[in-house]
Structure 1
Amino acid sequence: MQDVTTPASLVEIDGNPLPPGIACGTLSTPDRVRLRFAVAPSATGRTRGTILLLQGRNETIEKYFETITDLTRLGYMVATFDWRGQGASQRQRGSRMTGHVTGFQAYQIDLETIFRDVVLPDCHGPYAILAHSMGGAIAIAAAPRLVNRVERIVASTPMIALPGGHGSSLHWSMTAIRMIGLGRLPMRSADRSRSWTAERNPLTSDAGRFQRNRDLREAAPQLFVGGPTASWVAAASAAMRQLDDSDVVAKLHVPTLIVTAGADQVVSSAAAERLAWRMRSGHALSIPGARHELLQEADRYRAPFLAAADSFIGGALTL
């Protein structure tokens, strides 16, 4: 059941205005987790369809105000939401300030709930997904269930594997920690973001957008979490390993554009490009010099990415 509220439930700060016409609400998933969502109308006289915008880990609707505004100016409706455990969606008891899930199947429940209860009844079709990092991995894994419902998926620097080939050892060590009952143990060393500067950080080379996101975190710390738990890392590594399974890859039929960043230090660009090559309907594009968060990057990287996404999605969605 939806509970639609006013835009006042979204946090607005200087330099990060609300997208015009955006409406915010909450709903409950079948496993009784409360999610916050938002829908913004097309800013043009014609609606080309709806883009479901999926965040990465430890992100929030507010971080994407600029992107939502850009997409609505292109004629799309935009629907988005906070994953469970982050943003203003419900946190798990005992893990309110850490990213925690026991399996990525929980995120699939979030995606299915929003699509069924918000996108289908309230948003103009046809539909596409634009997803970043963790959201990209979730969207690609969900592709077999999205056939005939979603026309296109664009995955920005999807979390297919970690750099350096450390995924296997990390998976087994975190799984072992979870098996001995320490799944909620926070991996504090994983949250180094507070020490990053505009000049030296792995996310964006754009000082203005970096500071905007830092200001948002300072103004609304309740929307963010620290490092993930051991259980989250084990679940993430299991999800990444699954996307390397040939039987899984063979079932990925939704046309998908995977866009990698040439200077990505957060996820493996090579693994994402390899997945695109293995998919029957996969395509790959790399943006040289860009860092991990393409939608938060400098215009010289962000603009080509948005243009590519619009070109890939637009032909399928325009009625």
Structure 2
Amino acid sequence: MDDILYATPDNPVPGNHIAGYFEGNGGVKIRYAVFRSAMPVAKGTVVLLQGRNESIEKYFETIADLTAHGLWVATFDWRGQGGSGRMLSDPRRGHVTRFSDYEADLKQFLEQVVLPDTRLPFFLVAHSMGALVALSQAPELESRIDRMVLAAPFLALSGQALSQRSISVIANTASFFQLGGRTFRKDGTRPSFEGNVLTSDRRRFARNQAICDAQPQLAIGSPTARWLKEMLAAITRVSRQEHLTRIRIPTLVLCPTLDPIVPRTVLNGLARKFRAGRLIEIDGARHELFHEADRYRAQAMAAIDAFIPGSQAERTALGA
């Protein structure tokens, strides 16, 4: 167990956990962990879904916060990143063959790990790409997940040199010509805090960089053309009114207002079409809410604490 999860000096592994691997779609090896609360009676279990190029280690602080509030946490690394199996011979390329592979892995995780080994009721907390998968799967998860929290869901790809439409055309063309495993840019030098678009918190930025320095095999580089094609197609599909109408799980959408990747206008547009969703803006925060400065992160954690598990009156008000 100790060689499955990795600690760094300022990022200890939360206690009272189990870790291992399950078989994802197509036999891919998927790393997972379950963290139990020390409280004698659990309030339920949070299924924690990461964003792109993240790992279980990056969420140790958030996991410790959730278990301190009486919740268990079950989480896993998406295929192609973290401690899970890679899709290409070059392990640095962020690749997926089909978006539905992410969905299938989530289903397998719920069936093989969460349902038999954790505590009811089940809640889902997801960031960025993980929130996109959650939105896509939500109509099928109604019988299992009581509530969802989506932090900066990946519903746009802004702040790039090219427009989202141009990226989509190039990614689709590359995939059509069997070049889906190619990346559009070379991985650069070690990222610096100055100018980063993810967090305004220097300490957490350095902590997360130290994880990658100590365990470089957990990190990946630029996404492939196929990954971009699959993500952008999923964004288009889940943003449609007909899909959002099918989601009945009470959902909290956390919107960092200074996120250059997923602009607030996109998430405000989502909220207008999303009957089961409630939007909370966190003014001044950047994309990675769970790794932001305390004044922003505390707002996100407080919103989660108020929403999960939630009262029966709130459930009724949200149409659950």
Normalised by the length of structure 2, the TM-score is 0.93
Identity %: 42
Matching residue's letter, 1:184? G
- Work out the number of aligned pairs and report it: 310
Structure 1 residues 316, 180: closer, same or farther in 2, change over 3 A? Answer: farther
Cα distance between partner residues in 2 of 1:206 and 1:221: 22
Match of 1:99 in 2: 94
SS of equivalent to 1:208: helix
Cα distance between partner residues in 1 of 2:143 and 2:268: 25
Residue 166 (structure 1) aligned with residue 184 (structure 2): no
Matching residue's letter, 1:186? T
Match of 2:175 in 1: 178
SS of equivalent to 1:271: helix
Residue 144 (structure 1) aligned with residue 102 (structure 2): no
Does structure 1 conserve the Cα–Cα contact (< 8 Å) formed by 2:156 and 2:261?
no
Match of 1:3 in 2: none
Cα distance between partner residues in 2 of 1:252 and 1:45: 33
Does structure 1 conserve the Cα–Cα contact (< 8 Å) formed by 2:132 and 2:154?
yes
For structure 1, the 5+ residue unaligned runs are 1-5
Cα distance between partner residues in 2 of 1:283 and 1:95: 41
Residue 157 (structure 1) aligned with residue 152 (structure 2): yes
Structure 1 residues 63, 316: closer, same or farther in 2, change over 3 A? Answer: farther
For structure 2, the 5+ residue unaligned runs are 313-320
Does structure 1 conserve the Cα–Cα contact (< 8 Å) formed by 2:88 and 2:95?
no
Cα distance between partner residues in 1 of 2:24 and 2:82: 16
Partner residue of 1:215 out of 210, 219, 230: 210
Matches within 5 A, 1:1-319: 6-163=1-158, 166-188=163-185, 191=187, 194-315=189-310
Cα distance between partner residues in 1 of 2:131 and 2:268: 13
Structure 1 residues 316, 229: closer, same or farther in 2, change over 3 A? Answer: farther
Does structure 2 conserve the Cα–Cα contact (< 8 Å) formed by 1:104 and 1:236?
yes
Matching residue's letter, 1:96? P
SS of equivalent to 1:315: coil
Structure 1 residue ranges (4+ consecutive) displaced by more than 4 angstroms after TM superposition: none
Q: Provide, for residues 193-232 of structure 1, a one-character-per-residue CA deviation record: whole Å limited to 9, x for no partner.
A: x453223211111111000011111000000110010110
Q: What root-mean-square deviation, in Å, do the aligned CA atoms of Structure 1 and Structure 2 show?
A: 1.6
SS of equivalent to 2:150: strand
**Deviation at residue 313 of structure 1 after TM alignment:** 1.5
Does structure 1 conserve the Cα–Cα contact (< 8 Å) formed by 2:256 and 2:285?
yes
Normalised by the length of structure 1, the TM-score is 0.93
